[in-house]
Structure 1
Amino acid sequence: MNKVKLAEGVYYVGAVDWNLRDFHGYNTPGGVTYNAYLIVDEKVCLIDNVKAPFAGELIERISEIIDPAKIDYVVTNHVEPDHSGSLPVIMAKAPNAKVVLTEQGKSGIMKHYQTNYDFMIVKEGDVLALGRNKLHFLPLPMVHWPDSMATYLDGEQILFSNDAFGQHVCSSMRFDDEVDIDQVIYEAAKYYANILMPFGKLITKALGKTGQLPVRMIAPSHGVVWRKYIPQILAKYEEWSSGLTKDKVIIVYDTMWGSTDQMARRILDGVAAAGVTAKLYKMSVSTRSEIIAEILEAKAILIGSSTINNGMLPTVGGLLLYLKGLRPMNKLGAGFGAYGWGGGAQQNMEELLKAAGVAVQPGLAIKWVPDAAELDRCFQFGLEFGKSVLAANK
């Protein structure tokens, strides 16, 4: 197999899942990687592992470097099965290894795999000597799950960051300077928006911890390893976690008979006339995770829906429930849409926008099919909303 060396005695031993297109509701057109890393020093340490179906590949990669039975430590930075799913196979091959993790990680592993391994519980400040290298542990609770942590290899100055700085993108190359960096930055933004957005304030604290360390390489558990563009991805995480936004409006809608579609297009014209960038997405032909990636850096969101059964269309409702869980920072928003004999969608959308933490402005509802005068109202609505976006960022 292709042996990838990150540094002296440090190897990539993970797996690339080229064909996965849905990562628990997250659209992954470029597939997913499950990154794991092997450190061969006086002691041998495996950092994370891979999703269970790829256990055989993991063992094969390790075996080309060293007998898996010689593994002394298996660091489990995160319990989620895409990072720990091969643990039972690893422990069968390395029965004398200690499983290194947080206290919360221990309870999670025992519940997932119903086995009491030889656990080594670590906390912030703990250090594990491997030989010429030492591992330093940085618990990052709720920077994604309660058990989450990062592990730092001091000799080679590598931060094994688990989900932080990850991207869902597959490549035959393993480093950021070997691929299209613009694509990687986009995928990192999409990953942050869909996975890490709710934890922005905690991520700011985590960046403070990692910023005190000399880092030559960041090795996440998904995507490519950062070695050239570390300043760029750190700067992006600073922006995203602080809620920094651009003068951009994302307009998302769905429609039954086209009236809300007409409204959306005319509203977009108004937003653009105010000098604000706008993007339009119809939910029934767009992917939710890509829309969320666009919302990450946008100052505002406009949500549109026809009324059905006194409420909004299910496609729009699904997006708003998803957004509610992600709790985006520093966003303006409003609802719009057409209705027939009775409304209801407007109220539903505004309630969920508010629940997501969005500062909601008065929306626009039109009965049946908009006439010329009502389309002018849509343009004016977009124009005024665009002006409010510009004013908010001053």
Structure 2
Amino acid sequence: MRPVEIAPNIFEVGVRDWNIRDFHGYSTPAGTTYNAFLIRGETNVLIDTVKAEFTEELLANIRAVMDPKDIDIVVSNHTEMDHSGGLPRVMSVVGEDKPLYCSKMGAKNLARHFHQKWNLKEVGSGEELAIGSGRTLMFLETRMLHWPDSMFTYLKEEGILFSSDAFGQHYAGSEVFDDQMDISELLFHAKKYYANILLPFSSLITKLLKSVGDMGLRLNMVCPDHGILWRKDPAVILEAYERWSRQETLDKAVVIYDTMWHSTEMMADAIVSGLVEAGVTQVRPISVRKSHRSDIMTEIMDAKAVLVGSPTLNNQIFPALMDVLTYMKGLKPQGKIAAAFGSYGWSGEAVKLLNAELASMGFELPEEGIRVQYVPEHDQLTLCHGLGRRIGLKILGKEA
């Protein structure tokens, strides 16, 4: 893909990774992009680079605009290798002595990653840098969003926020801007990105959004390092982040389960029917071996209730389900009602273990859960239906 001029003398020069399908355990069926930005003027500035194997493509995109040797300043908003991997090659072309701006933690991370004697310039939150042509860069530290070194770069006069890993999506398409694709599809990709990367840092994001609001920053465009750029209405993604960071839930239930000989699946089906009977209109039954953990987490993020079912295998929870629970625990979803269920042959520890896992996440457990030995019969499925109905009424704030 060729560079795109996103504003006068400001270019998106990054690359598309069409074929990546897994990003640290996050499924990326639509690929991703590694966005980088070139500001041309009295001082030529490159903001971020790309994953190492795409560096020559980045340099080719820069050459389509200008000679990379004429870049005066490089900014590293984030040192994770999908954005900094191309730095050694880029700096060797641009010039090792050129200033490389980063946060204080960014300087430490770059030194540890690359062991290069670069001309690192540490900047703090609110610090400004005049780059000529009537333009000013302002740097905003966003520590732990989602690494300790993370920061934003704001081009004041144009109102453009280069937001690193915030407000992005793992999506590679021919589109560049939000007004070039369906907004519901775009927000789906943004929601999945938030649920699987930024959810643990929600309280920090709430504070950041308030801080940005208090500063009165004019945002004409928000340019993340992954996916589509927001130019039509950047407020759409800011408002979505505000909702997601508060971990607001819908009247929605997710029923996740694994099954050995369909017994736990039968229980899940009965629970789903009870939830629907109670009046819950958004119910998502998910077999964990038929869905990716990152898609499951996207559904769980805004659900009010999570019901989890597992057979007992070797006195333990089924491995595929434990994988999802471990992943979910690390992402720290808040404000959930939960319940456990499962079948067993002779020992039946899974429900007890599931309750312990769910309690450790801070979920509310109004019931002990249901265990069924071997194949559930009518009366036992009726109990499962009742469990679903009671949880459904609780979701809706009604009496059982």
The equivalent of 1:109 in structure 2 is: 110
The equivalent of 2:143 in structure 1 is: 141
Corresponding residue to 2:386 among 380, 387, 390: 380
Secondary structure (helix, strand or coil) at the match of 2:20 reads coil
The equivalent of 1:61 in structure 2 is: 61
The equivalent of 2:166 in structure 1 is: 164
The 5 A counterparts of 1:192-341 are 192-211=194-213, 212-276=216-280, 277-341=282-346
Shift of 1:86: 0.2
Deviates more, 1:171-180 or 1:212-221: 171-180
Report if the CA contact (8 A) 1:324-1:357 is conserved.
no
Corresponding residue to 1:390 among 389, 393, 396: 396
Distance (whole Å) between structure 2 residues aligned to residue 102 and residue 334 of structure 1: 44
Distance (whole Å) between structure 2 residues aligned to residue 361 and residue 282 of structure 1: 23
Q: What are the superposed Cα offsets for residues 255-282 of structure 1, whole Å, 9 maximum, x if unpaired?
A: 0011000000010000011111211100
Report if the CA contact (8 A) 1:339-1:368 is conserved.
yes
Report if the CA contact (8 A) 2:177-2:229 is conserved.
yes
Report if the CA contact (8 A) 2:163-2:225 is conserved.
yes
Q: What are the superposed Cα offsets for residues 3-24 of structure 1, whole Å, 9 maximum, x if unpaired?
A: 3011111100000000000001
Percent sequence identity is 45
Distance (whole Å) between structure 2 residues aligned to residue 200 and residue 243 of structure 1: 8
Hey, which bits of structure 1, 4+ residues long, moved more than 4 A? none
Report if the CA contact (8 A) 2:3-2:14 is conserved.
no
Shift of 1:49: 0.7
Secondary structure (helix, strand or coil) at the match of 2:229 reads coil
Shift of 1:229: 3.2
Task: Quote the RMSD (CA, aligned, Å).
Answer: 1.2
Which letter maps to 1:122?
A: V
Shift of 1:166: 0.5
Distance (whole Å) between structure 2 residues aligned to residue 368 and residue 3 of structure 1: 61
Distance (whole Å) between structure 2 residues aligned to residue 36 and residue 357 of structure 1: 39
Distance (whole Å) between structure 2 residues aligned to residue 298 and residue 233 of structure 1: 20
Which letter maps to 2:156?
A: D
Report if the CA contact (8 A) 2:146-2:197 is conserved.
yes
Distance (whole Å) between structure 2 residues aligned to residue 111 and residue 303 of structure 1: 42
Shift of 1:2: 2.4
Which letter maps to 1:200?
A: S
Corresponding residue to 2:373 among 352, 356, 367: 367
Deviates more, 1:176-185 or 1:78-87: 176-185
Which letter maps to 1:26?
A: Y
Which letter maps to 1:109?
A: L
Which letter maps to 1:220?
A: P
Distance (whole Å) between structure 1 residues aligned to residue 129 and residue 358 of structure 2: 46
Which letter maps to 1:380?
A: G
Secondary structure (helix, strand or coil) at the match of 1:250 reads strand
Residues matched between the structures, number = 393
Secondary structure (helix, strand or coil) at the match of 1:11 reads strand
Secondary structure (helix, strand or coil) at the match of 1:255 reads coil
Secondary structure (helix, strand or coil) at the match of 2:322 reads helix
The two structures have a TM-score, normalised by structure 2, of 0.96
Secondary structure (helix, strand or coil) at the match of 2:188 reads helix
Secondary structure (helix, strand or coil) at the match of 1:284 reads coil
The equivalent of 1:342 in structure 2 is: 347
Distance (whole Å) between structure 2 residues aligned to residue 35 and residue 348 of structure 1: 43
Report if the CA contact (8 A) 1:37-1:48 is conserved.
yes
Report if the CA contact (8 A) 1:17-1:32 is conserved.
yes
The 5 A counterparts of 1:174-189 are 174-189=176-191
Unaligned runs of 5+ residues in structure 2 are none
Distance 1:345 1:157, change over 3 A: same
Distance (whole Å) between structure 1 residues aligned to residue 54 and residue 362 of structure 2: 40
Distance (whole Å) between structure 2 residues aligned to residue 357 and residue 157 of structure 1: 40
Distance (whole Å) between structure 2 residues aligned to residue 236 and residue 107 of structure 1: 33
Q: Is the aligned partner of 1:97 residue 2:98?
A: yes
Unaligned runs of 5+ residues in structure 1 are none
